Amino acid sequence: MPEALSTSAKKYDRPLNGIMTMTKTAKFSAACLLMMAAPMAFACDYPERPTIPDGSTASKEEMITAKNDITAWMTGVDDYLTCIETAEKEAVQAMEDADPADLERRDAMLSKKFDAANEQKVLLGEEFNQQVRAYNAARSSD
């Protein structure tokens, strides 16, 4: 290569390397942002299920506390569902050229999470109602 072309090419290598470095920096920054955002995606914490006292031996205060704990838990489950739905919408919007089959799988998984959480709400409500009946039966026999 002639010396003039070699010198000329070297001048342009620096900006290209700068651009390449900038691209690498941008990719690294994007990766860091995704890593920081990942825990936020998992920030949707499913609330801890409250314990239900044995209605046949529980005091009125224990039953009232259980009722309040269950109400708070159900609100927490609703908040969890809102959170995962929002996180899923954001994740889908961030996807480029999403495969329809992948979107369908993601939607099915979200539906399963909703169904499972709502089923747990129903089961906990039924369990509490059984203990309320046991509480009432124990008090009526006194």
Is residue 51 helix, strand or coil? coil
**Contact (CB, 8 A) for 63 and 55:** yes
Question: Which residues 6+ apart lie within 8 Å of 53 measured at CB?
Answer: 62, 63, 66, 131
pLDDT by residue, tens only, the chain of 142 residues: 555 544 444 444 444 445 544 566 555 555 445 444 544 445 899 999 999 999 999 999 999 999 999 999 999 999 999 999 999 999 999 988 888 999 999 999 999 999 999 999 999 999 999 999 999 999 987 6
CA-nearest of 71, 45, 61 to 128 is 71
By the 10 Å C-beta count (0-12 exposed, 13-18 middle, 19+ buried), 15 is classed as exposed
CA-nearest of 141, 135, 137 to 59 is 135
**Which token pair is 37?**
């955002």
Is residue 7 helix, strand or coil? helix
What pTM value is reported for the model? 0.66
**Which token pair is 92?**
């889908």
CA-nearest of 10, 95, 78 to 2 is 10
